Amino acid sequence: MLLMGTKQDIRSFSLDKLRSTFSEMGEKAFRANQVYEWLWQKSSVSFDEMSNLSKDLREKLNINFTINAVKINTTQFSNDKTIKNTFKLFDNNLIEGVLIPATERMTACVSSQVGCSLTCKFCATGYMDRKRNLNADEIYDQVVLIGKQTQENYSLPLTNIVYMGMGEPLLNYANVLKSIERITAEDGLNMASKRITVSTAGIAKMIKKLGDDDVKFNLALSLHAANDTKRNEIMPINEANSLAALADALKYFYAKTKSPVTYEYIVFDNFNDTLEDAKELAKFCKHIPCKVNIIEYNPISFAAFTNADGDKIDAFANYLKSCGVNTNIRRSRGKDIDAACGQLAVKDIAV
């Protein structure tokens, strides 16, 4: 029997490592395959559920390994049918994730970090400390748990995943990509890569790395200003990742992947809502094939920003469309339970 002292999370093992470990335990390699299937295809979080394993092997697994499963701590239901979860991690940290139901799609919005280090001025998560990165299996678990809610509440499968929850995905690059590999793999959840979108505040060198890694998922850039002075003011990350640097990285990414990029743009009242702002954005959109999602601002207690009125937003969008930019206005979901874009932040929730 292999006794390791501190139990290791078995989901941190690759299939090859699991096979070699099973060999050390005196078990046949195909048993490792069976366990791997239980973990990633069947999303099992208990060795006792693994019914095609012998009782002795299950006991051996319980002695030597753990499964650091994510659990739902609290759930809130919005008037618009959005569902927000606070998830409890194995170390008692809390994160949030959201199910966004729509007529033609069911979308899971998942977190990639506990808190965030980027301090974007309009985002509630940006006012939290970053405690740690999430492991790949913790991201995977959010998808599984939200997928179960989709079936339970709407009798429909999960169709889309957006990495737009708490944290900056590209500052947790390896775990984010590993989670997507497990979500999209045939021996995982087998979801299509093109149904996954990773959103970044804009880290130029990591956008280039996405190109080098020839990723198949969609990329969204949280832009919110196409003017360095304004973007520096609301997104300090821009000081080290200027619009020129981002444009260069995005061109590199597109040349490698041939994937258009989505720009997310909140129209703040009396900040970035003028015709000149729209002109600057239209000019930025010329770098690569793209589309723009204009997002309604969702107020938070930490910041004094307000949403531009509807007429201004419509005029802004219409100007972009007149320039040939594919533009959509996205209405907020789950605002009444602080589940909308920019509102995720764990607040005084009893563990």
Report yes or no: 90 and 311 within 8 Å, Cβ to Cβ.
Answer: no
| 8 A C-beta contact, residue 35 and residue 53 | yes
Query: Which of the residues are catalytic?
Result: 96, 341
Report d(CA 142, CA 171) in Å as an integer. 19
Three-state secondary structure call for residue 319: helix
What is the number of alpha carbons within 13 Å of residue 154 lying toward its C-beta? 21
Residue closest to 135 by CA, chosen among 10, 6, 12: 12
For residue 285, CA distances in Å to 97, 239, 243, 260, 266 come to: 30, 20, 12, 11, 16
- What gap in Å lies between CA 87 and CA 89, rounded to an integer? 6
